[in-house]
Structure 1
Amino acid sequence: MPGSVPPVPPLPSPRHPAHALDRAFLGMERRRPDARWDAGGVAYLSGPPPSLADLRLYVGFRLSRLPLLTSRVEGGTRRSGWRTDADFAVDRHVHEVVADGPEEWDAALHTALNAPFAPGAYWGVWLLHGHAPDRYAVCYRFRHACQDGAAAAMTFRTLLGDGEPSARPVPPKGRRADLPRRVGTAVGLAAKFASGSLVARGPRPAAPFVPTGERRLWRGRVPADALRRIGAARGGSAHDVHLAALAGTLAAWSERSRVPLPRVTALVPVDARRPDEDQTWGNRCFAVPLELPVRRGPKDRNAEGGRSGDSPLWRLDRVMARTRKLRGDTWRQAIQDMVRFMPGRPTAWYLRRVISPRVTDVMATSMPLADKGGLGDTRVTGTALLPLLVPGHLFGVGLSFFDTWAEVSFVADRALPLGESLPGLWERAVAELAQEQGPG
């Protein structure tokens, strides 16, 4: 499909106000210009790769359905808004990395993960090929001031999916009579989360390495039904099982790497979009700290008959006890109201607090992507999320649901000890949960 990239249609509205979360991320970028504030994902495809020119042409056509990606933020951190980028060019956003044979695949992927964005660009796509004649990958990365993970999943469905609707949970539409109760719940929840970010209960794990600034990606996968079956048997979700397996992963990694983990708190994003929202300008995700049951305390052992060791299902029950309210409509509605109405300064303060390594240690997200996908005659065979790697965190971990697989990805600084062992430890932790759960 040779030819020039078609012009992108203008937005239906000339300006959309930037959300408080967007302004908060912009502020953090300006405070820490040395840090990386981007996230994204990788799609792995089978079949011959397209040329760079054809991929640019394809992305250019698809952008008519993604007006956010042809916009830019104008103004300061207090008053800013999204406008159509008059100088937008697909060529500045879609790039190519060619591996010189199979042995150079890791180097090509490393280039795509760490390449800077073009000046003024909020996102980029990298075509990765050359390691095999019938395989290639597409890496999509975005600045977090531009999108959140839920919007990025919608971008995946638009560019590479087959148009399936999002599987994200949303609270039912409320009534006007519920407004006083909703206001009270939202204010109370905001106070609870804010106070929780100020309280440090016990020592934090010391950073076990000197960061290099270069990120690495490691992947694993299990059948998605395995996670769903384990969670459903105990009244939980696949995401609960993922977090329980993550706690087991951290315990095993700590033992192998000899990095003590007295306590670990995961930062868990919660999608706060309303039912009628699809591709929104900027961020609509809240972030909630959740302590992972990596180590048992003396009270936990005594309560279970003095058993030694860490039970996988004990971890799952502890996770579920902490996520139960998050799974309910009341808290989801309150979080949605907080994200929609919280002023800019409290939002920025809370976000800075909750992502601080003094409060949280890992970013842990999960996202349904699509049932299937492809580009032309080539098909998507696997996916990997690229969660935000917060400065001072051990790593970011993402769980993507695609086709029949639940695919875990760990993104960490290359100096993290035994980082390459994390996916295998997570797969083993899931197997231990399934074994202890038994058939059902």
Structure 2
Amino acid sequence: MIQRPNAVDGCFIRHEQELSDFRPTFGMVLHAQGRAPELSRVQEQIASRIERMPTLACTVARRERRTVWQADPAFDPYDHVHEVRTPDGPTALEEAVQALLGAPLDEQSPRWGVWLIHGYCDSEYVLFYRAHHAAQDGQAMVDALRALFGTEPPASPARAAVAVPDAGRFWWQRIPVQAVAWILTDAMKSLRPSLRSSMQRPLSGETRVVSAAVPESWLRNTGRALGASSNDVCLAALAEAVRSRMPESRLAPRQRGRELYAYLPISVRRPEERFTVGNRLAAVRIPLSFWEESATTRVAAISRATRPVKTEGMRRALRAQMSLPEWLVYRIFRRAAAKAAGCLITSGLVHLPELLAMGDDPIETVVPAAFPYKDLFEMAFVAYKGQVAASVAFDRAEEEVGSLVALWADAVERLHDDVGFDESESTRAIV
């Protein structure tokens, strides 16, 4: 279950230690219908299901210059389930989630938690699952939600540790030529001027998260019609949304040589690593073909840009990069963080393939939430029960960014209409 530590885990911890305003936490807001249960019921369900994902009882920390994973001998699942009672009112839930996003997680125990949030409405309550990025990547969070709240039989139990390929070779001998070529090519591209997605205003230090949802079939059918993935359609609609809210000065002809990029996480998890601790992902910069006048042409261009990233050869190259010594991976990590100043940051489209529930109460909607990085905003997407929810996290100083998800939903709808589908789907809704 506990393999060789992944260098990315230590990078998140170290970066947080060096930057006081960096909070690599993210989560999912699970909306359930009905009256809120007693906290003890939530604690009992979660405690009874920890064995479905034993890595939830493991903790990660940096010891001197090493990142260390170990089973927590004092682990008590009850300590990871909390309660937040809010006043009645439409903004109380939003304020509670935003306050929790920036709150630190205990460094001495497994870095995740569940918060039962209620009081804002008599007929609904929320379970907010939140984790530190040093402890979990997107796939691990999906597995955690399915373990704790899934309604289907659990997946295969955690597997025993497996041998690390090429573990007996020096790290410089494990890097394929493709990885070196990709790193150098990306470094050269990063030297080109690019567009900034933010306005570079003084930050307030307060976070907002705003969400919207569209039918999943809109993305799926549009992608099929254009030979692209649903995630490609998400990115194209995001580029259109950013373009529609940019001031004219940022769209002047002299800017046309500057591209807008998105950082897209790519899973490099092998099948035998399904239930292992920590991160198994890398991030790549994707050009969003910002200046394309046609939205359908933009989808095709983004699809061409993402297609090589999805190949097994590229995954091998990214795995090799992530298996370098942690000090070197951290240099790459810091360089990527510096380049992110001109980029959007996205989660990729995460799928929750089964229904979730708290006891007998079904989870009706799931909304992603992440803490924003500096003056950037982060878009996250999750598919659940036939809907794709998108959320944007941003500093309150960038208040106009809150309109981005509604603009994104409009762009998805227009794309769907442009490719000629006519379905009697429920219309998009702010959630």
Aligned to 2:32: 45
In 2, the alpha carbon distance for the partners of 1:408 and 1:355 equals 23
Pair 1:244–1:259, CA change in 2 (3 A): same
Aligned to 2:180: 187
Q: What whole-Å deviation, never above 9, does each CA across 1:153-177 have from its counterpart, x for those lacking one?
A: 11111112234899xxxxxxxx99x
User: Shift of residue 190 of structure 1?
Assistant: 3.5
User: For residues 234-253 of structure 1, what are the structure 2 equivalents within 5 Å?
Assistant: 234-253=226-245
AA matched with 2:271: P
In 2, the alpha carbon distance for the partners of 1:360 and 1:204 equals 4
Aligned to 2:418: 436
Contact 1:182 1:333 in 2 (8 A): no
Give the TM-score taking structure 2 as reference length. Answer: 0.84
User: Shift of residue 106 of structure 1?
Assistant: 2.8
Aligned to 2:429: none
Counterpart selection for 1:109 from 97, 104, 112: 97
Q: What whole-Å deviation, never above 9, does each CA across 1:407-436 have from its counterpart, x for those lacking one?
A: 111111122132331221011101111122
Aligned to 1:169: none
Q: Which consecutive residues of structure 2, in runs of 5 or more, have no partner in the other structure? A: 156-164, 167-172, 423-431
User: Shift of residue 60 of structure 1?
Assistant: 1.7
Aligned to 1:172: none
Contact 2:102 2:371 in 1 (8 A): no
AA matched with 2:101: L
Aligned to 1:120: 108
User: For residues 130-169 of structure 1, what are the structure 2 equivalents within 5 Å?
Assistant: 130-163=119-152
In 1, the alpha carbon distance for the partners of 2:409 and 2:101 equals 24
In 1, the alpha carbon distance for the partners of 2:403 and 2:87 equals 26
SS state at 1:279 partner: coil
AA matched with 1:252: S
Q: What whole-Å deviation, never above 9, does each CA across 1:94-149 have from its counterpart, x for those lacking one?
A: 21111221343333333333333346342221111112222111111111111111
Give the TM-score taking structure 1 as reference length. Answer: 0.83
User: Shift of residue 273 of structure 1?
Assistant: 0.3
Q: What whole-Å deviation, never above 9, does each CA across 1:268-300 have from its counterpart, x for those lacking one?
A: 00011002222221111100011222334xxxx
Contact 1:247 1:292 in 2 (8 A): yes
In 1, the alpha carbon distance for the partners of 2:300 and 2:420 equals 16
In 1, the alpha carbon distance for the partners of 2:61 and 2:378 equals 30
Aligned to 1:281: 277
User: Shift of residue 21 of structure 1?
Assistant: 0.8
Aligned to 1:424: 406
Q: What whole-Å deviation, never above 9, does each CA across 1:180-237 have from its counterpart, x for those lacking one?
A: 999333333333334444x233464563432222221111111111101111112110
Aligned to 1:211: 203
AA matched with 1:326: V
Pair 1:165–1:424, CA change in 2 (3 A): farther
Aligned to 1:3: none
User: For residues 227-238 of structure 1, what are the structure 2 equivalents within 5 Å?
Assistant: 227-238=219-230
Contact 1:363 1:397 in 2 (8 A): yes
In 1, the alpha carbon distance for the partners of 2:51 and 2:144 equals 12
SS state at 1:314 partner: helix
Aligned to 1:381: 364
In 2, the alpha carbon distance for the partners of 1:151 and 1:231 equals 26
Aligned to 1:271: 267
Aligned to 2:10: 23
SS state at 2:397 partner: coil
In 2, the alpha carbon distance for the partners of 1:24 and 1:181 equals 20
Pair 1:105–1:359, CA change in 2 (3 A): closer
Same amino acid, percent of matched pairs: 28
Contact 2:15 2:22 in 1 (8 A): no
Contact 2:13 2:134 in 1 (8 A): yes
In 1, the alpha carbon distance for the partners of 2:115 and 2:250 equals 35
Q: What whole-Å deviation, never above 9, does each CA across 1:382-407 have from its counterpart, x for those lacking one?
A: 111224522232x1111101111111
In 2, the alpha carbon distance for the partners of 1:347 and 1:77 equals 17
In 1, the alpha carbon distance for the partners of 2:392 and 2:197 equals 19
In 1, the alpha carbon distance for the partners of 2:14 and 2:371 equals 16
Q: What whole-Å deviation, never above 9, does each CA across 1:352-384 have from its counterpart, x for those lacking one?
A: 111225554221122112231111111111111
In 2, the alpha carbon distance for the partners of 1:80 and 1:181 equals 21
Pair 1:386–1:280, CA change in 2 (3 A): farther
Contact 2:23 2:102 in 1 (8 A): no
AA matched with 1:211: L
Aligned to 2:425: none
User: For residues 192-341 of structure 1, what are the structure 2 equivalents within 5 Å?
Assistant: 192-197=185-190, 199-202=191-194, 204=196, 207-255=199-247, 263-296=259-292, 310-339=293-322, 341=323
Aligned to 1:410: 392
